[in-house]
Amino acid sequence: MEKIKVGVVGTGFIGPAHIEALRRLPNVEVAALCEVTAELAKQKADALGIARSYTFDELLKQDDIQCIHICTPNFLHYSQSKAVLEAGKHVVCEKPLAKDLKEAEELVELAAKTGLVNAVHFNLRYYPLARQMRVMREKGDLGEVYSVIGSYLQDWLFYETDYNWRLEPDKSGDSRAIADIGSHLMDILEYITGLKTVAVLADFNTIHKTRKKPLKAVETYSGKMLQPEDYADVPINTEDHANVLLRFDNGNKGVITVSQVSAGRKNQMKLEIAGSKKTFAWNSEAPNEMWIGNRDGYNESLMRDPSLMYSEARSVISFPGGHNEGFPDTSKQMFKEVYEAVAAGKQPENPTYPTFADGYRELLICEKILESNKKQGWVEI
């Protein structure tokens, strides 16, 4: 088997997660790694067991690299994705696709023009029970969607001494909690329900108006502790917490809450989707179990088991029932579909994976949520 050679750009939290998932695909080889300097790239490549290391411009010139994964801070996504497409290579980009709609629209158009495979890493829709909920809705098991309640809660920015580049608008954009994790939540809600959000009413809160920025590097989720003299006070103007009311294109309503300051919630996305026949409830911190609510009978609990699920959901399951699958498996399942397209050499007409167009959609919703918070009023999408 001739393996597809891949280059990964960026080695923070998510870059190594991409690498680990890619290494689980039999037809893919992570052949190269890229960082801001040749020295750092070599250091990271050695640590991750990758043979070749480059700066970004050098990586683009490698003829044998067919696909590149962009895992850098948000402000680099547009320029690097554009450069990859212009170099004639397939691209998988972390979310958000770009810093604004104009950039995202340009990327969608360029990707369509080239015909190259383009994907945005909305991996959370690849939990098997997320796919099962979508299929159940498509088959009419849920009925008409009456309401949606969603939340995405974390605590990694709980203390004022917690700091990361995502707190800096020039690197991350004007929205933080909504753009960072709220985008995943909005994507999966529209993916499962098939509804489009048509209006939003948002209210943000910045708990820590000032944070203590470390004067030395601290990686995401590292848990390292510094001394008082190692910090500088910086003002914060992006949201720690957000509540958003939603209106959908079927005339019904929903609500989401997003927080990065909820003690004890490490990475919990919860969904409750109420329909005219049943209610679905699911929690990403217990991803192998789904609650199904009934008005006139026993409620049900569906454990992730391919023998019990619809055939359309089985393709994103690798293990039998009782053998739990979790967060690392979502990227593997997504990349499995992406690399079927890469092997074919072009973007399929109806991709099963999230594309640059989906990245544009989520950026549009996030910008409207940001606009709503500034206006303190409803904003149509």
Domain boundaries, the chain: 4-123, 124-327+357-380
Q: Pick the closest to residue 373 from 241, 186, 280 (CA basis).
A: 241
Q: Which fold has domain 4-123?
A: Rossmann fold (3.40.50)
Say what the pTM is. 0.93
- CA atoms of 20 and 363, how far apart (whole Å): 27
Cα pseudo-dihedral 11, 5, 128, 13, rounded to 10: 0
Third-level CATH fold of 124-327+357-380: Dihydrodipicolinate Reductase; domain 2 (3.30.360)
pLDDT tens for the 381 residues of the chain, in order = 789 999 999 998 999 999 999 999 999 999 999 999 999 999 999 999 999 999 999 999 999 999 999 999 999 999 999 999 999 999 999 999 998 999 999 999 999 999 999 999 999 999 999 999 999 999 999 999 999 999 999 999 999 989 888 899 888 888 999 999 999 999 999 999 999 999 999 999 999 999 998 887 665 555 566 677 778 899 999 999 999 999 999 999 999 999 999 999 999 999 999 999 999 999 999 999 999 999 999 999 999 999 999 999 999 999 999 999 999 999 999 999 999 999 999 999 999 999 999 999 999 999 999 999 999 999 999
